[in-house]
Amino acid sequence: MRILNSFWSHFQDVSSSRFYKGGQVAKLDWWFSWCHEYPDLYFARLRTFSNGKADVLFQDENIAYGFDNEDSAGHFISEDEFSRLACIDENDKKFIKVPNDVIIEPPSWGSKEAFEFKYIGKY
């Protein structure tokens, strides 16, 4: 019965209220796009919640994408040519044309909420 319930859960439309219920933001990660150069960098936010779920919000979008876990959310972002900002190195900075003396700061919209929600689940 557990297998059948798991199977059907992938076909359910999960609402944002159901997805976010019972979870608090436990971790916030910023990702940067390889397709944009300094100073016009483009970011995505990945939040991981205390219940293990995660969501992704892209800089100019109003849709939050919900995932069953942080790994799935990370795979989703990386397919759009994003990398974790915390892991940026000198070669990355050269590629996106960041001057040597510039430290890239995360955007200030960390608590921004989306108007729409799309549940992806596992990715």
Domain ranges of the chain: 19-121
* Nearest CA-CA partner of 87 in 69, 72, 101, 74: 74
Helical (H) or strand (E) element with 58 = strand 54-58
118 DSSP β-pair partners: 65
56-113 confidence digits (pLDDT tens): 999 999 999 999 999 999 999 999 999 999 999 999 999 999 999 999 999 999 889 8
How many Cα atoms within 13 Å fall on the side-chain side of residue 100? 0
C-alpha to C-alpha distance for 18 and 111, rounded to whole angstroms: 19
Q: Is the pTM of this model over 0.75?
A: yes
The span from the CA of 106 to the CA of 84, in Å, is: 11
